Structure formats: structure tokens, C-alpha cells
Amino acid sequence: MSDNCLFCKIVEGQIPSKKVYEDDEFFAFQDINPAAPVHLLVVPKHHVTSLQEISEQDAAWLGRLMTLAPRLAQENGCTPGPEGGFRVVINTGAEGGQEVGHLHMHIIGGPRPWDKRAAPAA
């Protein structure tokens, strides 16, 4: 746990969240300001600031994080199959649009149209 990290506090239960999934390594919850009908955040329980901090030794848990995306998308209301789908976003650093300094994967989906914030940058 990193002091004064919002998502470490959510993982620890010090700040409430709408949890959708938890295991030994990861914690997933509803985004407080959803940009689409489904908007989840998945975080590693250990503090990692951003993708800029990761290296080869992180490949295994990052792979496991990715495998949660289709599972949690379907369990939380994203439409299955090629006509459905979802978006995975990991904003990284200030210029990457990252506002919370604990690595997190957005899972965004549900019927369109979505909020403009969920659209790709122009």
C-alpha cells in the first residue's frame, strides 16, 4: 500500500467502492463517473504507479490482468460477440491522460452512443 494513493485505499476498503470482482492479485470496481453503460476499473492490489514503471518481470501478472477483461466485461453487461465487445484503456502518465497514480485498466462498454470522454482522442 502506498500512502495517499486513492486506489490503494479502495483496495484496502478505507474508501468505499462498488466492487465487482476480487482475487489475490486484483480488485475491480465501478468507475464513479462512468463514461458508458459499463465502466469498470481493474487494479493490481500491489501499488504500481503506471505502465511506465513495469518491466519484463511484470509480464505474468499483466497477462492475468488482461485475461480478466473479457470475463468482467461479460459478467457486467457488455454485449458478447463481434457486434458487441468493449474497450480496454490504460491511461499512462500525465500526457496519457492518467489522473490516478495507481495503474488501472478501464473496461468500457455497453450499447452506444457513449459519452464523448470514452471516444478515442482525435
Catalytic choice (39, 47, 102, 104): 104
Nearer to ligand 5GP, 31 or 75 (CB): 31
| Residues in CB range of 40: below 8 A, 6 or more apart | 20, 28, 29, 30, 31, 72, 73, 76, 106, 107, 108
Nearer to Zn ion, 41 or 118 (CB): 41
Total number of residues shown for the chain: 122
Chosen residue from 63, 99, 112, 113 binding ligand 5GP by CB under 6 A: 99
Task: State in angstroms the smallest separation of the CB of 112 from ligand 5GP.
Answer: 18
Task: State in angstroms the smallest separation of the CB of 47 from Zn ion.
Answer: 4
| Residues in CB range of 65: below 8 A, 6 or more apart | 26, 42, 44, 105
For the question of residue 39 being annotated catalytic, the response is no
